């Protein structure tokens, strides 16, 4: 902002704005709250914003407040016509209008989306650009079947970025691949509900569910199916055993055959287990994509 011809009070207002809003926004997401002491809705919203600022501080979120009576020029620059008005500022520019979000849940959702979209990292965090190659290395080692080495790699990544969902999910799947199911379950059980909804974590949860099926002799199940191809329970149990043993192709074939014979059997159990198998493999994996096409062809023909 130009300062030529401004009063001392206006210069102070600009300096304060740069210090409290512009400068922090270079590395953090600033919730900029325009308020006034006489505004009752402002007083209702303020505790929510303060709570979220504290909760999201380690995720790169800060709160700044502009009293429109004290900083009239700043309010005029933003063309504030009603309060409370709340903007999200990043790198000196408004990136979202948060004014219509008045509940904690609504604001949380908006903040989560902004943090994900803008790739904002907490102050002092290891840059994502440094983490991604290490995660790719861990995934490569895991895909080659070396669970123990993958555990070591992902543990090192978590030491650098303990909240990284890709690293948490990869570490859990590495533990599963290394046969450390209890450790994987303890890790995943300790996560918040919000974390468990992330695709990377959901994949690990599905992988643990698939791997937790005990190994059994499939001979009796195969004999039951040979005697009665419509023994759906036997086919379902056979698919589970094949999944646990790592024979994903045979498991997929068995589940698709069950769906073909009776897609609604046991409350769509076969379809649910089939989708769980794909999630454990990774929904973006080429194998999973091919299996999804097989399922679609079966359901819509």
Segment 148-165, tens digit of pLDDT: 999 999 999 999 888 889
DSSP string, the chain: ---TT--HHHHHHHHHHIIIIIHHHTTSEEEEEEE-TT-HHHHHHHHHHHHHHHHTGGGTEEEEEEETTT-HHHHHHTT--SSSEEEEEETTEEEEE-TT--SHHHHHHHHHHHHHHHT---TTPPPHHHHHHHHHHHHHHHHTT-HHHHHHHHHHHHHH-TT-HHHHHHHHHHHHHTT-HHHHHHHHHTS-HHHHTSHHHHHHHHHHHHHTSPP---HHHHHHHHH-TT-HHHHHHHHHHHHHHT-HHHHHHHHHHHHHH-TTHHHHHHHHHHHHHHHHH-TTSHHHHHHHHHHHHHHT-
Q: One digit per residue, pLDDT tens: the chain, 301 residues?
A: 555 567 888 888 899 999 999 999 998 999 999 999 999 999 999 999 999 999 999 888 999 999 999 999 999 999 999 999 999 999 999 999 999 998 999 999 999 999 988 877 666 666 667 888 999 999 999 999 999 999 999 999 999 888 889 999 999 999 999 999 999 999 999 998 888 988 999 999 999 999 888 888 999 999 999 999 999 999 999 999 999 888 999 999 999 999 999 999 999 999 999 999 999 999 889 999 999 999 999 988 7
Res 270: pLDDT: 95
- Its pTM stands at 0.63
List residues with catalytic annotation.
39, 42
Res 126: pLDDT: 66
Res 6: pLDDT: 76
Res 7: pLDDT: 83
Res 116: pLDDT: 85
């Amino acid at each position: 902002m130009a300062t030529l011809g401004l009063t001392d009070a206006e210069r102070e207002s600009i300096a304060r704005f740069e210090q409290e809003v512009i400068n922090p926004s270079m590395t953090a997401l600033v919730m900029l709250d325009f308020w006034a002491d006489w505004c009752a809705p402002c007083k209702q919203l303020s505790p929510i914003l303060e709570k979220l600022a504290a909760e999201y501080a380690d995720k790169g979120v800060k709160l700044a407040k502009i009293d429109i009576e004290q900083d009239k020029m700043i309010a005029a620059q933003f063309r504030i016509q009603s309060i409370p008005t709340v903007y999200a500022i990043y790198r000196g520019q408004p990136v979202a209008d948060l004014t219509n979000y008045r509940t904690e849940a609504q604001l949380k959702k908006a903040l989560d989306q902004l943090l994900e979209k803008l790739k904002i990292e907490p102050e002092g965090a290891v840059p994502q650009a440094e983490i991604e190659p290490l995660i790719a290395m861990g995934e490569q080692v895991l895909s080659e079947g070396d669970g123990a080495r993958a555990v070591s790699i992902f543990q090192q990544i978590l030491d650098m970025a303990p909240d990284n969902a890709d690293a948490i999910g990869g570490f859990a799947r590495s533990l599963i691949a290394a046969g450390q199911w209890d450790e994987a379950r303890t890790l995943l059980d300790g996560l918040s509900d919000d974390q468990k909804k992330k695709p990377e974590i959901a994949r690990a949860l599905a992988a643990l569910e698939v791997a937790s099926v005990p190994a059994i002799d499939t001979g009796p199940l195969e004999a039951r199916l040979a005697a009665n191809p419509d023994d759906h329970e036997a086919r379902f149990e056979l698919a589970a055993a094949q999944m646990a043993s790592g024979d994903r192709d045979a498991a997929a074939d068995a589940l698709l055959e069950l769906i073909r014979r009776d897609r609604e059997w046991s409350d769509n159990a076969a379809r649910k287990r089939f989708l769980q198998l794909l999630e454990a493999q990774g929904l973006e994996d080429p194998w999973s994509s091919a299996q999804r096409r097989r399922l679609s062809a079966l359901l819509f023909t």
